[in-house]
Chains A and B, each alone.
Chain A
Amino acid sequence: AQRVTQPEKLLSVFKGAPVELKCNYSYSGSPELFWYVQYSRQRLQLLLRHISRESIKGFTADLNKGETSFHLKKPFAQEEDSAMYYCAPPYAGNNRKLIWGLGTSLAVNP
């Protein structure tokens, strides 16, 4: 199986503090990776994909092939950022079993 790992199950920060959610991947080739977010009582939604190199809701993520990482960062956390965040590979259609990260629950305290 080719997988991503999120080492932190829970991350708690204060409002206005920087936040970094870690994601490392273990598969070879040119990975395509995504961050998904699940707010309380809402559907899972795509937050970022590494190919687009965009910033959504102030979050950015850079693929670091040397460190095999795709960490999610935001310089100033807001209370509304509190949610579960998943780092995930796409399904590539070639029977490789691709496993999502276990998720990091981010709590932004006032």
Chain B
Amino acid sequence: DTEVTQTPKHLVMGMTNKKSLKCEQHMGHRAMYWYKQKAKKPPELMFVYSYEKLSINESVPSRFSPECPNSSLLNLHLHALQPEDSALYLCASSQLTGVGGYTFGSGTRLTVV
């Protein structure tokens, strides 16, 4: 299995909702990442997990809460989002942080209404 799988593919949520994005990889990668990508822009790093521990939070608002239950799974919990948070949320993994390139998931297209 050489893929990163993200669910759901699309999500529409209200500003008072709570939802979660899920990401799974079975490549044995020990680094996992959440990125946010706006249209026609490069991905922006949000969180990095290394060996299931959060190693960086790139000044992301607390309404985004990551979780890494095990080495294969990565979640992003969403609560009280704003319309400007609408974007494509990408999960990626790599062998280790700084080693090898990323394998990206296809993303979750999030719309906040």
Contact across chains for A91 and B104 when beta carbons are under 8 A apart: no
Tell me if B97 is interfacial: C-beta within 8 Å of chain A. yes
**Within residues 85 to 111 of chain B, which ones have a CB less than 8 A from any CB in chain A?**
90, 94, 96-107
Question: Which of these, B31, B56, B58, B104, contacts A44 with CB under 8 Å?
Answer: B104
Contact across chains for A49 and B100 when beta carbons are under 8 A apart: yes
User: Chain A binding site: helix, strand, loop or mixed by DSSP?
Assistant: loop
Contact across chains for B58 and A102 when beta carbons are under 8 A apart: no
**Hey, which chain B residues are within 8 Å of A100, CB to CB?**
42-43
Count residues of A near B (Cβ-Cβ below 8 Å): 23
Closest 5 CB pairs of A and B: A93-B97, A100-B42, A46-B101, A92-B98, A43-B106
Count residues of B near A (Cβ-Cβ below 8 Å): 26
What's the minimum C-beta distance from A29 to chain B, rounded to whole angstroms? Answer: 12
**0 or 1 for each of A84-100: is its CB under 8 Å from B? (1 = yes):** 10101011110101101
Q: Knowing A43-B106, A44-B43, A97-B58, say if A91 contacts B97 (CB, 8 Å).
A: yes
What's the minimum C-beta distance from A59 to chain B, rounded to whole angstroms? Answer: 14
Q: Knowing A43-B106, A43-B107, A95-B56, say if A90 contacts B42 (CB, 8 Å).
A: no
Instruction: Give the docked Cα–Cα distance between A34 and B94 (Å).
Output: 13
- Can you list 9 pairs linking A and B with CB atoms under 8 Å apart? A42-B106, A44-B104, A90-B101, A91-B31, A91-B98, A93-B48, A93-B55, A100-B43, A103-B42
Contact across chains for A32 and B98 when beta carbons are under 8 A apart: yes
Question: Which of these, A34, A88, A93, A97, contacts B42 with CB under 8 Å?
Answer: A88
Question: Which of these, B58, B97, B102, contacts A92 with CB under 8 Å?
Answer: B97
